[in-house]
Amino acid sequence: MAALDLRAELDSLLLQLLGDLEELEGKRAVLNARVEEGWLSLAKARYAMGTKSVGPLQYASHMEPQVCLQASEAQEGLQKFKVVRSGVHAPEDVGPREGALRRRKGPTKTPVPQSSDAPRDPLNWFGILVPHSLRQAQASFRDGLQLAADIASLQNRIDWGRSQLQGLQEKLKQLEPGAA
């Protein structure tokens, strides 16, 4: 009976693994397509701005990540990743700060905007007015990052499933040495 239960568990684990592998293949194809779109857009931006205008020479000397990963452990040894975008701006206060009646005593002192803690958009490294193709490239690679996190989670699940499968196969061999 224990062997039967083990076999049933092995079968369900195997089916889950095959499903994960199929999902992984699908996501990989989408990631590769996004990255290729990104390269094409970068090439168009380079054509518009100049060969040396889009490359490592434009990287900022100080960078802060806008995208972070949150890793959570679903089961023992099974890590799951989630992409989190940082740099949420506080909403601007629109409208007059004082009451309805303004006292005209010379130029009013406008409040100095506080330096934002949000990281700077990497698009600004390449200039103020960047071509649309560079924005498209950024969008493609951002989509790619989300997919990368999903693929990494799937890879971890496949590795975890593989180790579980090997453990169950060992147990089955001990229970049924003749069948091995």
Partner 1 sequence: MEAVLLFMRMSRNAARRTARARRGVGPTGSRTAEAGLRRLLVLSGELCPAAGMAGRGKLIAVIGDEDTVTGFLLGGIGELNKNRHPNFLVVEKDTTINEIEDTFRQFLNRDDIGIILINQYIAEMVRHALDAHQQSIPAVLEIPSKEHPYDAAKDSILRRARGMFTAEDLR
What's the rounded Cα separation, in Å, for the pair 170 and 168?
Answer: 5
Minimum CB separation of residue 176 from partner 1 in Å reads 12
Residues 109-148 that bind partner 1 (CB under 8 A): 117, 119, 121-123, 134, 137-138, 140-142, 144-145, 148
- Kindly indicate which of the ranges 1-9, 103-111, 159-167 contains the residues binding partner 1, using the contact rule CB under 8 A: 159-167
Interactions with partner 1, residue window 1-30 (CB under 8 A) = 17, 21, 25, 28
Q: Within 10 Å of residue 133's Cβ, how many Cβ atoms?
A: 19
The closest alpha carbon to 170, from 156, 180, 159, 157, belongs to 180
**Rg of the chain on CA atoms, in Å:** 27
Residue 164 binds partner 1, judged by CB under 8 A: no
Contact by Cβ (8 Å): 73, 139: no
Q: Both tokens of residue 34?
A: 């996004």
Out of 90, 112, 128, 129, point to the residue binding partner 1 (CB under 8 A): 90
Report phi then psi at 10, rounded to 5.
-60, -45
30, 49, 165, 175: residue in contact with partner 1 (rule CB under 8 A): 165
- Token pair of 61, please? 């000397």
Alpha carbons 118 and 121: distance in angstroms, whole number: 9
Binding characters for partner 1, 59-88, by CB under 8 A (x = yes) = xxxxxxxxxxxxx-----xxx-x--xxxxx
Q: Which residues contact 118 (CB under 8 A, 6 or more apart)?
A: 86, 87, 88, 89
The residues binding partner 1 (CB under 8 A) are 17, 21, 25, 28, 31-32, 35-36, 38-39, 42-43, 54-56, 59-71, 77-79, 81, 84-88, 90-91, 93, 117, 119, 121-123, 134, 137-138, 140-142, 144-145, 148-149, 151-152, 155-156, 158-160, 162, 165-166, 169, 180
